[in-house]
Amino acid sequence: MKGLLLAYIVLLFWAFPGIKVQDSKVSTIKLEQLEHRLAQGGDTTFVVNFWATWCAPCVAELPYFEQFNDVYGQVSDGTSPAKVLLVSLDAPKLLSRVNDFIEARKLRNEVLLLDESNQQYYIDQISTEWSGAIPATLFVNTKKGIRLFKEQEFDFETLEANYLSIINK
Amino acid sequence: MKTVVILLTVLAGWFTAGKNTPAEGYQVGDVVADFSLTNVDGNKVSLADYKDAKGYIVVFTCNTCPVSVAYEDRINALDKKYKPLGYPVIAINPNDPGTAPAESLDHMKKRAQEKGFTFPYLEDPDHIITKRYAASRTPHTFILQKTSQGNVLRYIGAIDDNTNEDAASSFFVQNAIAALESGAKPDPDFTKAVGCTIKWKKGS
């Protein structure tokens, strides 16, 4: 009985870790779940960046996505909110590596790990314009019916220009 | 206000269009032109040098991209297996050494030696051939078949379906060559894979 109680307590802590830990964790996501979330976004402009810890130019541009979110991620008097999602294409089994990476870099944007292994499936589903090279970024505004895909590197100015062109359409 | 909006829209389009818009390159079924590029041994290499070839496995790959590095042993294995059958591997580095110094010819030589490349590893100054093929990532593979019309592009895409060699289960390049050998066309003849972007020369 005592053993069972102990196991229960251990399980409880395992299942519900402290809020601080939960906050910083990367979650895995299926493509279908990601698309569902984008579709539910209303007038939010999602900026979905596809990256990986092994991709140097991806890592180099992450600070611009942080900066972009600092400027446009807040709702203020009528302007459309922007939401950055950093979707890692690291292998799903490397979740802890991605976690360590974002903690070390103190990334504030939401980070997701794509839990798909069939590249023939997910690359075309995300965009037929995508050859598979990263970094690549998808802009989605469901209310305006906009889905804009860019296989390129970004800096703050180019992110801003794309975002402004979407919300002003 | 409206003018500002239009201006911003135009400006945004201009900003984004100018950056690496993929050019229309060869499509499957096209006859491709030959090239003459410098190998890591200093000699020029052309498709025509391979008199007895039935085709070619042209791979755009580089020194530093982790996906390319993960495929190096497999590219060597492809050359060992298919060169005797008439389909040699020809590797081309599409990256600009000015933009990415670790992609210079000297570094290519070093990499080819370290990994014991059995195939030519060519530089492509100013991305001339890279743009002709519209290679957009590393690694990016193009299989050519020698015909009476010339060298015809038969397959564009990935080597197999997983960067992790142990997890790969569809061997696209091997299947494509098997199809060509049996007188058929590869199916699929176009695949996609996650890879590294081309490091373009600044201003190109």
- Report domain extents, chain A: 17-167
B1, part of any domain: no
Residue A20 has pLDDT above 70, yes or no: no
By the 8 A CB rule, do B177 and B159 touch?
no
ipTM of the predicted structure?
0.80
The number of distinct structural domains making up chain B is 1
Mean pLDDT for A69-79 is: 76
B183, part of any domain: yes
* CATH of residue B63: 3.40.30.10
Q: With an 8 Å Cβ cutoff, are A117 and B162 in contact?
A: yes
Query: What's the mean pLDDT when you consider all of chain B?
Result: 91
Residue B20 has pLDDT above 90, yes or no: no
Residue B50 has pLDDT above 90, yes or no: yes
B12 contacts in A (CB within 8 Å)? Answer: 161-162, 164-165
The model's confidence at residue B24, banded by pLDDT at 50, 70 and 90, is: confident
Q: Find the domain containing B58 and state its range.
A: 26-197
CA distance A23 to chain B (A): 29
By the 8 A CB rule, do B159 and B75 touch?
yes
Instruction: Enter the pTM of the model.
Output: 0.84
The predicted-structure confidence for A95-131, as pLDDT tens digits, reads as follows: 999 999 999 999 999 999 999 999 999 999 999 999 9
Decide if A125 touches B, using CB distance below 8 A. Answer: no
Residue A61 has pLDDT above 60, yes or no: yes
Which of B22, B195, B197 lies nearest to residue A57, judging by beta carbons? B197
B11, part of any domain: no
**Neighbouring-strand partners of residue A52:** none
Q: Which residues of A96-109 are buried (b: 16+ CB within 10 A; e: fewer)?
A: ebbbebbeeeebeb
Beta-sheet strands, E only, within chain A: 27-29, 45-51, 82-88, 110-114, 133-134, 136-141, 146-150
Decide if A54 touches B, using CB distance below 8 A. Answer: yes
Residue A19 has pLDDT above 90, yes or no: no
- Superfamily the domain A17-167 falls into: Glutaredoxin (3.40.30.10)
B123, part of any domain: yes
B140 contacts in A (CB within 8 Å)? Answer: 131
* Nearest CA among A50, A31, A39, A63 for reference residue A138: A50
Which of B13, B137, B167 lies nearest to residue A131, judging by beta carbons? B137
Q: With an 8 Å Cβ cutoff, are A165 and B13 in contact?
A: yes
For an interface test with B, give the residue of A94, A119, A167 to mutate (most B CBs within 10 A): A119
B169, part of any domain: yes
B15 contacts in A (CB within 8 Å)? Answer: 157-158, 161-162
The predicted-structure confidence for B145-203, as pLDDT tens digits, reads as follows: 999 999 999 999 999 999 999 999 999 999 999 999 999 999 999 999 999 999 999 98
B13 contacts in A (CB within 8 Å)? Answer: 165
B103, part of any domain: yes
